[in-house]
C-alpha cells in the first residue's frame, strides 16, 4: 500500500512540480527509510501517523549523525509527502506541518587560482572528439558558472553547434555560443 502511495507522490513531483531526477531519487530514498522506520514500530497505516512519531524519526536522524542538509532534505520530503496525502484526501491532517528541522550551514564554494584555471582549461587535447567535447564543456563551465550536471544536461540538448537552448528545469533557459577556439574545431551539423 505504501509503495503505491509513494509511486503516486513521486509521479506528482515529476509531472506537476517538475523536480529533477536527483531530487526524486533523494526523496524516494528518504521516504523509503522513513517507511522502514514506521514498519519497525508496527505502523503500517500512514493515515494514522502522529507528530510524535515524526519527532522520534527526526531524533533518529540526528542519532545517525547525518548532516544538517540531509536532515533538512528528509524533513522536506516527509512534509511534502504528507501535504500530498492531505491534498489527495488520503488523510485529514498533516502531522508534519508543525515540524521544524535544522537549518543547513551554507558554505561558500571553493575557488581555483588563476593558474589552476589556466591549467585546467589547457588539459583537453583538441585533436580528438573527446578533447573537443572536454574543451567545450570546460569553457561553458568557466563562462557561465553552471554546475557540472547542468552542463551535461545542456550538452544532451545541443540543437545547433555552438548553441545550448533548453534548461533542465521548467522555465530555465540559457543561450551560450562557444568561443572561437572550440567553435572553429566543430563542424556544423546538418541544416535543420
Residue 57 lies in a domain: yes
Q: Which three cell numbers stand for residue 92?
A: 485529514
Distance CA 88, CA 140 (A): 43
Q: Is 112 exposed, middle or buried (0-12, 13-18, 19+ CB in 10 A)?
A: exposed
pTM (2 d.p.): 0.57
- Name every residue whose Cβ is closer than 8 Å to that of residue 41 and which is 6 or more positions away in sequence: 53
pLDDT at 171: 53
Q: How many CB atoms lie within 10 A of CB 138?
A: 18
Question: DSSP code of 122?
Answer: T
Q: Residues 9, 78: one domain?
A: yes
Residue 156 lies in a domain: yes
Distance CA 148, CA 54 (A): 35
pLDDT at 179: 54
Give the residue ranges of DSSP H helices in the chain: 2-15, 21-40, 51-63, 68-87, 114-121, 129-144, 148-156, 180-183
Domain count, the chain: 2
pLDDT at 164: 44
Q: Tell me, what CATH number does 171's domain have?
A: 1.10.443.10
Q: Residues 72, 129: one domain?
A: no
Residue 41 lies in a domain: yes
- Name every residue whose Cβ is closer than 8 Å to that of residue 181 and which is 6 or more positions away in sequence: 126, 135
Q: Residues 140, 69: one domain?
A: no
Residue 60 lies in a domain: yes
pLDDT at 141: 79
Residue 93 lies in a domain: no
Residue 103 lies in a domain: no
Q: For each of the chain's 192 residues, which pLDDT tens digit applies?
A: 678 888 999 999 988 888 888 889 999 999 999 999 999 999 988 888 888 999 899 889 888 888 888 888 999 999 999 999 999 999 888 888 877 766 667 777 788 888 998 888 888 887 887 887 788 778 777 777 777 777 776 666 554 444 444 444 445 554 555 555 554 544 444 443
Q: Residues 8, 75: one domain?
A: yes
Distance CA 74, CA 138 (A): 33
Residue 94 lies in a domain: no
Domain range for 29 is 2-87
Amino acid at each position: 500500500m505504501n509503495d503505491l502511495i509513494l509511486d503516486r507522490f513521486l509521479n506528482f513531483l515529476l509531472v506537476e512540480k517538475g523536480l529533477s531526477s536527483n531530487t526524486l531519487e533523494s526523496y524516494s530514498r528518504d521516504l523509503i527509510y522513513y517507511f522502514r522506520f514506521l514498519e519497525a514500530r508496527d505502523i503500517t497505516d500512514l493515515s494514522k501517523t502522529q507528530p510524535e512519531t515524526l519527532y522520534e524519526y527526526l531524533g533518529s536522524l540526528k542519532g545517525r549523525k547525518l548532516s544538517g542538509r540531509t536532515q533538512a532534505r528528509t524533513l522536506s520530503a516527509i512534509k511534502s509527502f504528507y501535504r500530498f496525502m492531505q491534498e489527495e484526501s488520503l488523510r485529514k491532517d498533516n502531522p508534519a506541518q508543525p515540524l521544524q528541522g535544522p537549518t543547513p550551514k551554507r558554505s561558500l564554494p571553493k575557488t581555483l587560482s588563476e593558474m589552476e584555471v589556466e591549467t585546467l582549461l589547457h588539459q583537453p587535447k583538441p585533436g580528438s572528439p573527446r578533447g573537443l567535447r572536454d574543451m567545450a564543456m570546460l569553457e561553458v563551465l568557466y563562462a557561465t558558472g553552471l554546475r557540472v550536471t547542468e552542463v551535461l544536461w545542456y550538452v544532451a540538448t545541443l540543437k545547433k553547434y555552438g548553441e545550448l537552448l533548453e534548461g533542465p528545469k521548467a522555465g530555465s533557459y540559457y543561450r551560450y555560443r562557444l568561443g572561437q577556439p572550440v567553435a572553429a574545431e566543430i563542424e556544423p551539423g546538418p541544416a535543420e
